[in-house]
Amino acid sequence: MLYLVATPIGDYSEISSRALDILKDCDVVVCESTKEASKFLRSHGISGKTYEILDEHSTPEDKRALVPLCLEKKVALVTDCGTPGFCDPGADLVKLCRQQNIPVKTVLGASALMGLLSLSGQRLDQFVFRGFLPAETEARAQSLKDLTKEKRAIIIMDTPYRLKKTLNDMNDHFSDRRFLLTLNLTQEDEAVIEGTIDTLLYKNKFDKAEFMLLIYPA
């Protein structure tokens, strides 16, 4: 059995009792970082777990090697924060398990995406989730150019250290649109900034942060 256990995106207390029960009871924890996963579990009094790594460096062979564990044991898949299988390699493990008819269950929890939408103050019945932009310069520029044709709301995310780069990209490609920027949601230094790109660039005080960016409809 594979459980997809959503973990807090900031505040460690933001997790369901069901998720904690599964993490206490599971045989194996598959995670991006044993340091982050064990730190989180210890904060809830959970220790002595067996860990396996699944991250962006995992090879197809690494992923296939996890499948027998999911067949034979109770396995919990977590990420450093948020919902596993969403914009991360966990999706590959879910696919492999389903191909082998191994039960996969989701354990819902905190969602940065839903948090962003709820903070918008608008009913956005349609939006384009672009997710992570390409890191390579030419591919990134082309992706942004393609997005300028989109009139619906667009949601973008990227790694924390690309925060300023992403904002500068928005200045180059979406200077006529309004934005909502969320930073370090549920953490003590949480910030939410709404307005033009000039407003975001002026008010953002972070060099890097966990962030999501909503481009309002044209």
CA-wise closest residue to 63 among 41, 86, 30: 30
In this prediction, the residues of the chain whose per-residue pLDDT falls under 50 are: none
pLDDT at 133: 93
Burial class from Cβ neighbours inside 10 Å (0-12, 13-18, 19+) for residue 67 reads middle
Helix (H) or strand (E) holding 34, with range, is: helix 34-43
- The pLDDT tens digits of the residues spanning 165-191 come to 999 999 999 999 999 999 999 999 999
Q: What is the DSSP string of 180-202?
A: EEEESTTSTT-EEEEE-HHHHHH
Q: Which amino acid is at 22?
A: I
Burial class from Cβ neighbours inside 10 Å (0-12, 13-18, 19+) for residue 177 reads middle
pLDDT at 77: 97
pTM: 0.83
Where do the domains of the chain lie, and which CATH numbers do they carry? 2-107 (3.40.1010.10), 112-215 (3.30.950.10)
* Strand 2-5, strand 104-107: pairing: parallel
pLDDT at 120: 93
Burial class from Cβ neighbours inside 10 Å (0-12, 13-18, 19+) for residue 135 reads exposed
